[in-house]
Chains A and B, each alone.
Chain A
């Protein structure tokens, strides 16, 4: 784990005194970066109690990176909020804590302890109940506990059909619900930030980024990410056509299952029993980007929760999911 600590420390140094880039950023990434920064500054200026929902993955890494840039030389004027299901990969938690410490940012962690104590988990409770209690409920609890009026999320429109329809400033009622049929028109870069007490806005600064943009930006701007994105020999089992990593003893093996050492990596990081790995030899960012350029499946194919039913994401979002 020494390299996580070190890469994160080096990263934090960059925001103490700005240095000129050696190569200019690709033009389209520069435009996306500027758009995201603009969105973040609008939120910081217009909301009383904003927060960044931070989920440790590559999109969160980019979103946080953009926030560090948006307010430089100030630090982002909001805390980070992680909703921890307690089923995250170990490396994710190590990375999360190291990053918050090195950057001196407040990392708030919300756990639905009641559900954890009752033994809710992805394999016995099923992915739907697991997500409902440990993610959606925990998120709503965090929103209520801290009274956030705006929350940044790292969702992108290219991820999923219902996300493709969502506004950048997405209104949530007092129950954190989304009404897809009654969204506020959103024109130009002129965002309506007006809400009443108890209501909130989810803000998606990465709306117009694609998965490839995210990787290209991580490459061009040297952003440290959780090592699970890089291919390595990892113990895995195959379940329902998905390659599941045996991160530690939290994953109970089924009869006849025997972990196999395979060269795999993750394109997306969620709860480890619900996130499938892909066979890959990409050990560097360059190789990951090249792999992306020839990919034949979408990243969310590795997310079991999206397969529950058609429209499952829309349903979760209406209930207050990210």
Chain B
């Protein structure tokens, strides 16, 4: 070798090989369609196998091979012992090769149905999918399944590799038959390109060299096509987004926010906001170990320094102030279920999106997709490898964009809280609340400021109990006593709410839930204003009362169970309602023909059969003082 080799010479050779960048693709399709063989052939024909690898391959082929005396390329990729023994692919294998034009990362994914989740894993990072079809068998259920998953995961380019053409006498008609059959199903899914290529991977025909046996085929070989495929996206022209991974604080003089830009561009001076809180600032510096940058764009791992200090932590998404992501705790998403235990709506999982992790439940499974026929069917659960459209509800609002607009902003995983397994992969379609586009505007006067002025700690005093239990009576005395002691209060009850805010609601189950939800939200606003709010509502269901409890901060919800037995209430019957219910004039009356779920651990329990309303009120106020709410 020339000892005078210059860096420029070497660099020129190196850049030549990467001029079209990197293409990530996966091979998928049914068992025995020849996926691993195809990749082995690509590596072998591109002269990318090293001599010692070929030696080992020849040795293994004699031992486990299924290709007679010839080299069994599948053994090159099936890296696990169980795979070599069983002759099948279990897990995704990643392989790397390069031609003069492009570098390739190929994910070889399993064909067996029970490994569909591994195929999705490979698809999640791929630009293109090579869909293998055995020319003898044609389009199979698994072909359609993988095609659907490829589309769902956002793959835009399909190569339809009609393999084993040597076993159908290189027949042109057979090839066109298969292509037509595939197109019939795949066309509606909206891929950008679908490129059918007839091939014989075992002999390399139309893989790396044009086939003499199929001279009727005038298109590119697989490798030619993959080298030229245009995979540029417009992710850089989407709005700027950067989920914060890590707060960078080497010393008191530096505070930066480290993360990977997932869409758009950012420059010093740009106005950005913290999506979740609405706090705004301008970018001052884009710091990297290679010096400050003038601009950072999608894909860059950087550290941003802002022009003034605002509260930012891991999980926050920094976004362009002009074009913000949605912020919501409810959204619709397509979900792939990957665990052996079925997905159950209502169960709590951990949801990880970007750098944020929060508890979440599937609030509704809208439909399940039969990915053999692409039909939508109603279903109450999702089993392993099932795909469904569902509503997701998170414990805290998250910032997101639709998956198909900004992949990283709409992709989430679900983690089982007990086993820690990754059980679901989700792709957000849209937010479910109109409020999701209303962005929090950060106010200069905070809840704490308002509370301080009033010398008290705001809270919701939630009186629950049967009709006639004495909720309003006790609440009224409590408010009077608080007010005369100089506290700032407000009271919500059926009378002042049902006649105005909730005039449109009736007494069906859905309306009762909505009634309590609205009261909870109003109560929350009054707490924000710094008030002590008494709320007197039957509120028979634990789940609704818990919903209100979770709306406000820890300690701000104080549940007062006015525990009066049904017989006593019926005897009191102050409004004559029990009589009407007994006469059948009122339906769904709590305690009568509708259940009341008593609180399990209320902060305060008052027994109005043994003490007077006045004494009960004193008991409540004493507890408030004990809890430190009265300043």
**Chain B associates with chain A:** yes
Enumerate chain A interface residues (CB-CB to B < 8 A): 14-15, 18-21, 25-28, 30-31, 33-34, 37-38, 41-42, 44-45, 68-75, 157-158, 160-165, 180-181, 183-190, 192, 194-196, 207-208, 210, 212, 216, 219-220, 281-284, 286-287, 289-291, 293, 295-298, 300-301, 310-311, 314-315
Can you pick out 7 interface pairs between chain A and chain B where the beta carbons lie within 8 Å of each other? A14-B289, A18-B288, A69-B290, A165-B91, A192-B422, A194-B350, A281-B3
Residues of B within 8 A of A194 (CB): 350, 415, 420
A21 and B291 contacting across the interface, CB-CB below 8 Å: yes
Q: How far is the CB of A23 from chain B (nearest CB, A)?
A: 8
Residues of B within 8 A of A310 (CB): 56, 59-60, 63, 84
Residues of A within 8 A of B13 (CB): 290, 293
Task: Find B121's partner among A187, A210, A314 (CB 8 Å cutoff).
Answer: A187
Which residues of B319-352 are within 8 A (CB) of A?
Answer: 338, 350, 352
Residues of B within 8 A of A162 (CB): 79-80
Task: Find B80's partner among A44, A180, A301 (CB 8 Å cutoff).
Answer: A180
B14 and A26 contacting across the interface, CB-CB below 8 Å: yes
**Closest B-chain residue to A29, C-beta based?**
B18
- The complex places the Cα of A287 from the Cα of B50 at a distance, in Å, of 20
B90 and A190 contacting across the interface, CB-CB below 8 Å: no
- The complex places the Cα of A33 from the Cα of B302 at a distance, in Å, of 11
Which residues of B80-112 are within 8 A (CB) of A?
Answer: 80-82, 84, 90-96, 98, 103, 105
Residues of A within 8 A of B287 (CB): 18, 72-73
A291 and B1 contacting across the interface, CB-CB below 8 Å: yes
- The complex places the Cα of A38 from the Cα of B246 at a distance, in Å, of 10
- The complex places the Cα of A104 from the Cα of B10 at a distance, in Å, of 34
**Closest B-chain residue to A69, C-beta based?**
B289
Q: How far is the CB of B613 from chain A (nearest CB, A)?
A: 51
Q: Does B612 contact A (CB under 8 A)?
A: no
B3 and A297 contacting across the interface, CB-CB below 8 Å: no
A161 and B93 contacting across the interface, CB-CB below 8 Å: yes
A18 and B291 contacting across the interface, CB-CB below 8 Å: yes
Residues of B within 8 A of A74 (CB): 248-250
Beyond A19-B290, A41-B258, A220-B11, 17 extra complex contacts between A and B, CB < 8 Å = A18-B289, A18-B290, A18-B291, A38-B245, A38-B260, A73-B248, A161-B77, A165-B91, A180-B80, A185-B121, A189-B260, A190-B411, A196-B420, A208-B105, A290-B10, A310-B60, A311-B80
Once A and B bind, how many residue pairs between them come within 8 Å at the CB atom? 206
Task: Find A195's partner among B76, B250, B260, B420 (CB 8 Å cutoff).
Answer: B420
A42 and B299 contacting across the interface, CB-CB below 8 Å: no
A183 and B248 contacting across the interface, CB-CB below 8 Å: no
Beyond A184-B422, A284-B5, A290-B1, whether A297 also contacts B250 by CB under 8 A is: no
Annotate B218-259 by CB proximity to A: 1 below 8 A, 0 otherwise: 000000000000000000000000000110111000101011
A283 and B124 contacting across the interface, CB-CB below 8 Å: no
B81 and A314 contacting across the interface, CB-CB below 8 Å: yes
Q: Does B118 contact A (CB under 8 A)?
A: yes
A164 and B355 contacting across the interface, CB-CB below 8 Å: no
Residues of A within 8 A of B415 (CB): 192, 194
Annotate B436-473 by CB proximity to A: 1 below 8 A, 0 otherwise: 00000000000000000000000000000000000000
B248 and A287 contacting across the interface, CB-CB below 8 Å: no
Residues of B within 8 A of A44 (CB): 246
Residues of B within 8 A of A295 (CB): 50
- The complex places the Cα of A69 from the Cα of B125 at a distance, in Å, of 24
- The complex places the Cα of A20 from the Cα of B289 at a distance, in Å, of 8
**Closest A-chain residue to B119, C-beta based?**
A185
Q: Does B314 contact A (CB under 8 A)?
A: yes
B80 and A19 contacting across the interface, CB-CB below 8 Å: no
Residues of B within 8 A of A189 (CB): 125, 260, 408
**Which 5 A/B pairs are nearest by Cβ-Cβ distance?**
A161-B79, A20-B291, A72-B289, A301-B52, A37-B301
- The complex places the Cα of A315 from the Cα of B124 at a distance, in Å, of 29
Which residues of B1-59 are within 8 A (CB) of A?
Answer: 1, 3, 5-7, 9-11, 13-15, 18, 21-22, 50-53, 56, 59
B248 and A190 contacting across the interface, CB-CB below 8 Å: no
A297 and B5 contacting across the interface, CB-CB below 8 Å: no
Beyond A31-B22, A45-B246, whether A26 also contacts B117 by CB under 8 A is: no
Residues of A within 8 A of B338 (CB): 185
Residues of A within 8 A of B412 (CB): 190
Beyond A27-B21, A72-B288, whether A298 also contacts B52 by CB under 8 A is: yes
- The complex places the Cα of A41 from the Cα of B172 at a distance, in Å, of 53
Beyond A185-B118, A311-B84, whether A21 also contacts B290 by CB under 8 A is: yes
A45 and B314 contacting across the interface, CB-CB below 8 Å: yes
Q: How far is the CB of A47 from chain B (nearest CB, A)?
A: 12
Annotate B349-366 by CB proximity to A: 1 below 8 A, 0 otherwise: 010111100000000000
Residues of B within 8 A of A187 (CB): 120-121, 124-125, 411, 413, 422, 425
- The complex places the Cα of A72 from the Cα of B301 at a distance, in Å, of 11
- The complex places the Cα of A113 from the Cα of B49 at a distance, in Å, of 40
Beyond A18-B288, A194-B415, whether A164 also contacts B77 by CB under 8 A is: yes
- The complex places the Cα of A204 from the Cα of B352 at a distance, in Å, of 20
Q: How far is the CB of A277 from chain B (nearest CB, A)?
A: 15
Residues of A within 8 A of B50 (CB): 295-298, 301
B299 and A165 contacting across the interface, CB-CB below 8 Å: no
A314 and B80 contacting across the interface, CB-CB below 8 Å: yes
- The complex places the Cα of A112 from the Cα of B94 at a distance, in Å, of 34
Beyond A20-B290, A38-B260, A38-B301, whether A286 also contacts B79 by CB under 8 A is: no
Q: How far is the CB of B144 from chain A (nearest CB, A)?
A: 21
